[in-house]
Structure 1
Amino acid sequence: MGKVICVGLGPGDPELMSVRADRILRGARHVAYFCKRGARGQARRIVEGMLPAAAVEHAMEYPVTVEIPVSDPEYNRLLAAFYEDWATRLADLAMGAEVVVLCEGDPFFYGSFMHLHSRLQGRAEIEIVPGITGMSGCWTQTGQPITWGDDVLTVAMATLPEAEITRRARDTDALVVMKIGRNLEKLKRALAAAGTLERAWLIERGTMPGQRVARLAEVAEAPYFSLAVVHGQGRRP
């Protein structure tokens, strides 16, 4: 079997990438990355100037992103076929030379590569290079620890029903909310109901050019590359 290496690129700043990730990228012969149709993709932008000139690039363009709701059976059908197709293509490519797959943050933390990982089992040797998660890169930009002492940290998606977000926010000490985008107003209402909106921050494009850190209550819009945090206030010496 050939070998597929998924490299975690960290939260966005290339200087926060691991030494191992940097070394693998600079010696890569085949590089694959996820992106929207017609776009280059954030992962590819992070490694600009790091790949060998002779590296062959493979843009894995999603068949669908936000065009239809996640609950639509067609959404799962299209993505399942997409992942199966690319698992086959990567396994075939790896027979000739190692294939490096780019992944923002850490590959095993809500990364798209997980869907390829399960399909590549028995078809290729797989190596995962962990990376700093996007959420840790973002909460660091607030200048405050996310947890203290015995604080419990919860990671939730803004795509959850409003009542579920409220429940999760009430039942935890510290909170990270991902996938905000068009769910911003719903998230605000949920955190207000939980009594944590005034402590919530929004970090947009954390560690990347154009970074913005602001009080969530004062934000009017939130792009895909943003997340919200509520810091814990737990036990301290």
Structure 2
Amino acid sequence: MGKIICAGLGPGDPDLISVRADRAIRGAKHVAYFRKAGRQGQARRIVQGMLAPDVLEYPMEYPVTTEIPFDSPEYNRILAAFYDDWAARLTDLCESRDVVVLCEGDPFFYGSFMHLYVRLRDRIKTEVIPGITGMTGCWNATGQPITWGDDVMSVLMGTLPEAELLRHIGSSDALVIMKTGRNLPKVRRALQAAGRLQDAWLIERGTMPGQRVARLAEVDDADCPYFAIVLVHGHGRRPVATEAAE
């Protein structure tokens, strides 16, 4: 019986793949990865030139991405069936071989592999290799620390209701806002209402070719690709002991 090895690929730059993941990828005979139909796929692009010449590839093509609302029952039904199907296929493949599944960032941090993992972990041996998160690559691209001292950092989804975004923004020192894209106008309004817009950055394709780092206030709402994250840096809280002494 083989096993599933999920290799976290990090934020996008192949040089940021861990030694352990690099070893698994280069030695793989069977490799699976997610992609949008008709596209190469971000995970596959990251490992370009790393795979063995005789590797067998299994593109797992999403049946739906942004065509219907992500929170609709139909979206959930279609994606659940997709993950069920691929969990069954990977289980069959692992009857006599190991299969390496590629996953951008860290597999257990909003990674698509999580949906396979919960279906596979009780069927076959499954190993997960951690990866540097995409947000880590993005805040390093800004050239300044994301947090200082006792700063509280919140990771938010741009898909949240605007009122909920505003509530979290108002109670956090540092912010990472993912899933921007078409949600950027809503994110901008929430940041503006909280008085944080001028401190916000938009990082597009962090650590990857074509990386762009720009002030969010200077970016047009329509100019926001899928691989973009909004960041607001913390500035550090004064230690409690110092405040008491004063």
What is the TM-score of this pair, normalised by structure 2?
Answer: 0.95
Query: What's 2:242 paired with?
Result: none
Contact 1:2/1:91, CA 8 A, preserved across alignment: no
Structure 1 segment 151-230 matched on structure 2, within 5 A: 151-220=151-220, 221-230=223-232
Runs of 4+ in 1 over 4 A off after TM superposition: none
Q: Quick one: distance in 2 between partners of 1:189 and 1:37?
A: 33
Percent of residue pairs bearing the same amino acid type: 70
Q: Quick one: distance in 1 between partners of 2:7 and 2:46?
A: 12
Q: Quick one: distance in 2 between partners of 1:81 and 1:199?
A: 42
**In the alignment, structure 1 residue 148 sits paired with structure 2 residue 155:** no
Superposed CA RMSD in Å reads 1.0
**In the alignment, structure 1 residue 232 sits paired with structure 2 residue 246:** no
Q: Quick one: distance in 2 between partners of 1:18 and 1:100?
A: 15
Unaligned runs of 5+ in 1: none
What's the offset of the Cα at 1:161? 0.8
Counterpart secondary structure, 1:96: coil
Q: Quick one: distance in 2 between partners of 1:107 and 1:83?
A: 15
Q: Quick one: distance in 1 between partners of 2:228 and 2:36?
A: 17
Q: Deviations over 1:197-229 (max 9, x none)?
A: 100000000000000000011111211101010
Query: What's 1:112 paired with?
Result: 112
Q: Quick one: distance in 1 between partners of 2:51 and 2:215?
A: 37
Unaligned runs of 5+ in 2: 240-246
**Count, aligned residues:** 237
Contact 1:147/1:153, CA 8 A, preserved across alignment: yes
What's the offset of the Cα at 1:185? 1.0
Contact 1:29/1:54, CA 8 A, preserved across alignment: yes
Q: Quick one: distance in 2 between partners of 1:235 and 1:158?
A: 26
Contact 1:148/1:236, CA 8 A, preserved across alignment: no
What's the offset of the Cα at 1:38? 1.1
Question: Which structure has the larger Rg over C-alpha atoms?
Answer: 2
What's the offset of the Cα at 1:95? 1.3
What's the offset of the Cα at 1:96? 1.6
Q: Deviations over 1:12-68 (max 9, x none)?
A: 000001001111111001100000111111000000000001110000000100000
Query: What's 2:41 paired with?
Result: 41
